[in-house]
Amino acid sequence: MTDTPLHYCTITELGAMLRAGDVTPTNLTAHFIERIESLNGPLNAFNLVTADRAMAEAVAAEALLSTGRDLGPLHGIPYAVKDLFDVVGLPTTAGSRTVDTAPKTVESEVTRRLAAAGMVVLGKTITVEFAKGIVGINNIQGTPHNPWQEQPCVPGGSSAGTAVAVASGMAPMGLGTDTGGSVRAPAGLCGTVGLKTTVGRVSRFGVFPLSWTLDSVGPLTRSVEDAALVHQILQGEDTRDDSTLGIRSDDVLSPLKAGIKGLRVGIPEDAFCDGLNTEVAKAIAAAVEIFRDLGATVEIFSYPEAKQATALPPAINGAEAAVIHEERIDSKIDLMDPMVGPRMLDDRKHLAIDYLKTKQEMNRLRASQVETLRDIDVVLSATTPIPAASVDLLNGSLDIYLEYAAQYMAHTNIGNRLGLCGLSLPCGFTTEGLPIGLLINGKPFTEAMILRVGYAYEQATRWKDEQPNLSWANS
């Protein structure tokens, strides 16, 4: 048994305890349910807790183990589901009061795969309404509270509740989606690991859409190895999501612990550099030195495609969101979050020519970067240029909200536009105790590489073992 409290253990550690008989799926699930009951009031990560269902699933997982049927490393492990994923018998609200909340009758492919691997659903976590927001604010269901400060600070979004649940020990893993940074930004701001997969790597069937071109699915976890374990199960073709067709699964576990000696780590001289908070810049510089110590070759290089990607207008995700929500914008705009509704109306201003020209330029940049990244294995940057800010500051006016949103998305959005995969993991804290995230970008479909690099860095540091002081939440 580890000395780490059960709720802060990784999936790897929990799995070892389960197989050693130190814990069972039922008492493990009961422990997390009790943790949620204790902390969800002040932290507001879950909008739906499925305690009875979770215990029933845990009983089933335990029965299988008792007969010698082990479904793998995720068997018996509880997890949280961002409220965009359809789970049979549960509603999907997408963080809104404008959608049909009848229980779903068809399972998302991602949650189906996790159920087949023996995982236990604890409940649904709060998302920014329709996943439209990097800041993490939800004025309909309440904004999840970043657990690292008693003062309400933004958790990042749109996978806000998932990040808070994992960071605070209410769940060892949670599902997220990422269209412009919605896995990586909350991971960076809440001090967890977040994996943004390449579009086409993981099925989006049964996931409430924001942009069919840019949406991706990925886990938020307590460690890089945990992210790899979950990703190994999630990936693979699904005929109901044609973006996945022809994309073969990749073994991310075998090379995970191979080290990074001789790998080429790129630091762009012309992108990912603007507006860095001083403490964030120092943390990233220290991380770069660790990569050198681990034997990687660190290279400063020019990445013009990344710089040009930042200048692309938001025509792709904006126009696609306007199509997805056409009827809702016509009839229910007044019921939307005030930080979402006005932006939905603005999405209608994108012309077809703007949409097509932006797609054409995005595809040109993706093709051009192949040569730019030919001799680079991964690209390093901060996940967000600035740490978490006060909720009160960002929820006061739409103009201030948009100003900060642009900063929080400045680095992550590059990866979505260029089709990269990305991994955010902790690399330090500000003097105020707020997490700083390191972003490891990889070429399309190189999840195995970024997980390998992230694992090596994580093992050389202590950041994943840090835990928020939640005494204020328990008082």
Active site residues: 82, 158, 182
Residue 234 corresponds to which tokens in the numbers above?
Answer: 């999630």
CA angle 122, 427, 405 (to 5 degrees): 70
Backbone angles phi, psi at 418, to 5 degrees: -95, 5
Residue 168 corresponds to which tokens in the numbers above?
Answer: 């605070």
Alpha carbon 364 to its chain's center: 27
- State the Cα–Cα distance between residues 173 and 194, nearest whole angstrom: 10
Report whether 439 contacts 422 (CB < 8 A).
yes
In single-letter form, the type of residue at position 409 comes to M
- State the Cα–Cα distance between residues 430 and 44, nearest whole angstrom: 24
Alpha carbon 146 to its chain's center: 15
- State the Cα–Cα distance between residues 396 and 161, nearest whole angstrom: 21
Strand-pair partners of 428 = 436
Give 272-326 as a 3 state SS string: CCCCCCHHHHHHHHHHHHHHHHCCCEEEEECCHHHHHHHCCCCHHHHHHHHHHCH
Q: Which residues, including other chains, have CB under 8 Å from residue 69's CB and lie 6 or more apart?
A: none
15-33: b (≥16 Cβ within 10 Å) or e: bbbbeeeebbbbebbbbbb
Report whether 416 contacts 179 (CB < 8 A).
yes
Is the Cα dihedral 128, 142, 79, 457 positive or negative? positive
* Other CB atoms within 10 Å distance of the CB of residue 441: 28
The CB-side HSE value for 299 (13 A sphere, CA atoms) comes to 17
Q: What burial class does residue 264 get, using C-beta atoms within 10 Å of its C-beta: 0-12 exposed, 13-18 middle, 19+ buried?
A: middle
Residue 96 corresponds to which tokens in the numbers above?
Answer: 């809104």
Backbone angles phi, psi at 390, to 5 degrees: -65, 135
